[in-house]
Amino acid sequence: MLDIKLVRDRADHVRERLATRGAGDETKIDEVLALDAELRTALSEVEGLKARRNAASKEIGALMGQKKLTEAEARKGEVREIGDRITALDRQRAELEARRDEILLQLPNLPHASVALGRTAEENPVIRTWGTPVQHPFKPKSHVELCEKLRLVDFARGAKLSGSGFLLYTGWGARLERALIQYMLDLHVREHGFTEVSPPYLVAEHCMVGVGQFPKFRDQAYAAREGLDDSSLGRLYLVPTAEAPVANIHREEILAADQLPVRYVAYSPCFRAEAGAAGVGTRGMIRVHQFDKVELIKIVKPEDGYAELEAMVGNAERILQSLGLHYRVINLCTGDMGFASAKTYDLELWAPGQGGWLEVSSCSNCEDFQARRMQLRYKDAEGHNRFPHILNGSGTALARLFVTLLETHQQEDGSVVIPEPLRAYLGTDRLVP
RNA sequence: GGAGAGGUGGCUGAGUGGUUUAAGGCGCACGCCUGGAAAGCGUGAGUGGGCUUAUACCCCACCGGGGGUUCGAAUCCCCCCCUCUCCGCCA
């Protein structure tokens, strides 16, 4: 959520930054300002009345102590009237506040000044490229064909169980998925200084609001219900990413400065309904309703936010490099960035069988946008409570990593060579049809 | 799911309608004292918001959350959440 004080004091700046996203949100600032002004007028008035009531009630107490009951009764009538005005005015105040905050909760974060201006993904600058596309001396197969030949994923039966967009991993496929998860977790814990956590896969409403998923993207979440009780529908949501629970771990806390930086790594399955999207569409594993992901979360001092973002991208790149995969780092332009983010790097893998790039990681600094929503603060050296920066990054998403791994390391005979670091985890150096 | 007991400031722990605009204790910060320290004494200290040049005053709100009763609610009433104990169910 944007800081209302920033909106008040630097409305033009806020409008200008919002406009760079190209969604027209800057037009809502006038309404926010108007509601905010009205709100503060009502607030001053109602607080003044409350001060009067508090004083008068105290006097009544004193009068009754002195047994001046007639006088006390007279004052009661007077105070009751003040009370009625407070009730009415307070209701109005609450409504104004709700309306103001409803808009504020739907406004995206302001893009950082270093982010390239642009409207679509085509305008995302490529920051760097690592490796070169693998040159197969034969026509590379797509992952769908490889998965079927190697019996790694049973697409038909996955769909039979849960519909399109759900995968049934089988045999070495299931083992490869598990090996990748464990490999990535271990690397981030052992070499990158992250603390492993294993969060709930269902979260409460306030966690979804905290990370910026709700209220705007409510239709993309799967809602769960308890038992047969219809009224409990929507009280818990399947996590769209481990970010939802993990970033909220310290919500509503005031951390000591020496607790920062906090660095967590978590595996979770990710559930995405993507309602409104043009179906799952793509054949195979590129776009699915459930996938696995190893997620990195950092909570850091604002002055460290952007250095930590660069480091996080490096942590994710390390995974791809160690698996011998060709990738590029792009910086999302203002029009392509996610709702909560101030700056985002995407990591895209080259998939020979697809002949295209696949996003496997998105690393963002959300600055204080989420911290404000979840009331997460830390006490700085001067003893002031400040909102920390919260960063999230995939390190990395599976499914697409799985796809790229197969397509990159496939051999002419249809086998797939497993990259060296993964062999101990998987228990083989090659998958053979 | 059922029964019972609880949820108060950094911690502990009083408080069942009005000098509690939360006692006392511990811990904390600063000061006095001391050669230095401890003890002792004194002062201060929570969160959010409004007003404001101001992190100065002043004001409002906050005793798990939300409603209600009342001139006045930590205290009384209702709903919900969480924790603990026991039972049931269950991996």
Give the pLDDT score at A139: 95
Report d(CA A354, CA A403) in Å as an integer.
Answer: 9
Closest nt to residue A43, judged CA to C1': B50
Q: Which one-letter amino acid corresponds to residue A424?
A: A
User: What's the complex ipTM?
Assistant: 0.86
* Tens of pLDDT, residues A71-110: 888 888 888 888 889 988 988 998 999 999 999 999 999 9
Q: Which of residues 147-166 of A touch strand B (CB under 7 A)?
A: none
**A247 dihedral zone (left: phi>0; alpha: psi -120 to 50; beta):** alpha
Please give the structure tokens belonging to residue A42.
Answer: 């009502």
Beta bridge partners of A126: A330
Closest nt to residue A226, judged CA to C1': B1
Beta bridge partners of A203: A237
The answer to whether A76 CB is within 7 Å of strand B is yes
The answer to whether A57 CB is within 7 Å of strand B is yes
Which residues in chain A are classed under CATH 1.10.287.40? 4-106
Select from A179, A193, A344 the least CA-distant residue to A264.
A193
Contact predicate A143/A353, CB 8 Å: yes
Report d(CA A416, CA A323) in Å as an integer.
Answer: 13
Give the pLDDT score at A75: 85
In the numeric block, the tokens 């008035």 are attached to A45
**Nearest residue, CA→C1' of B45:** A383
The answer to whether A1 CB is within 7 Å of strand B is no
Give the pLDDT score at A280: 46
Select from A378, A267, A356, A261 the least CA-distant residue to A312.
A261
Closest nt to residue A79, judged CA to C1': B71
Contact predicate A416/A410, CB 8 Å: yes
Q: How far is the CA of A92 from the C1' of B17 (A)?
A: 29
For residues A210-241, one letter each, b for 16 or more C-beta atoms within 10 angstroms of the residue's C-beta and e for the rest, the string is bbbbbeebbebbbebeeeeeeeeeeebbbbbb
Report d(CA A105, CA A214) in Å as an integer.
Answer: 8
Contact predicate A193/A209, CB 8 Å: no
The answer to whether A195 CB is within 7 Å of strand B is no
Closest nt to residue A41, judged CA to C1': B50
The answer to whether A65 CB is within 7 Å of strand B is yes
The answer to whether A226 CB is within 7 Å of strand B is yes
Profile chain A (433 residues) by mean pLDDT over runs of 10 residues: 93 96 96 94 91 88 79 85 89 91 94 96 96 94 94 94 92 97 98 95 91 91 75 81 94 87 96 67 81 97 96 98 97 97 97 92 97 90 88 94 96 96 97 94
Q: How far is the CA of A323 from the C1' of B27 (A)?
A: 53
Q: Which one-letter amino acid corresponds to residue A417?
A: V
User: Which pairs count as long-range contacts for A97-101, CB under 8 Å and 24+ apart, including other chains?
Assistant: A97/A39, A99/A35, A100/A4, A100/A32, A100/A35, A100/A36, A100/A39, A101/A1
Give the pLDDT score at A72: 81
Closest nt to residue A63, judged CA to C1': B18
Report d(CA A231, CA A225) in Å as an integer.
Answer: 8
Q: How far is the CA of A256 from the C1' of B55 (A)?
A: 19
* Tens of pLDDT, residues A191-209: 999 999 999 999 988 999 9
Closest nt to residue A40, judged CA to C1': B50
Report d(CA A38, CA A55) in Å as an integer.
Answer: 26
Closest nt to residue A5, judged CA to C1': B49
For residues A182-197, one letter each, b for 16 or more C-beta atoms within 10 angstroms of the residue's C-beta and e for the rest, the string is ebbbebbeeebebeeb
Closest nt to residue A204, judged CA to C1': B81
Nucleotides in chain B near protein beta carbons (<7 Å): 1, 18-19, 47-51, 59-61, 67, 70-72
Give the pLDDT score at A279: 47
The answer to whether A51 CB is within 7 Å of strand B is yes
Report d(CA A18, CA A109) in Å as an integer.
Answer: 8
Give the pLDDT score at A228: 63
Select from A9, A185, A36, A20 the least CA-distant residue to A96.
A36
Please give the structure tokens belonging to residue A275.
Answer: 């309602």
Instruction: Classify A4-106 by CATH class.
Output: mainly alpha
Give the pLDDT score at A227: 65
Which residues in chain A are classed under CATH 3.30.930.10? 121-431
Report d(CA A409, CA A420) in Å as an integer.
Answer: 12
Q: How far is the CA of A244 from the C1' of B91 (A)?
A: 26
Does CATH place domain A121-431 in 3.30.930.10? yes
Q: How far is the CA of A386 from the C1' of B46 (A)?
A: 15
* Tens of pLDDT, residues A351-395: 998 899 999 999 999 999 999 999 999 988 777 889 999 999 998
**Nearest residue, CA→C1' of B19:** A62
Please give the structure tokens belonging to residue A425.
Answer: 């985890």
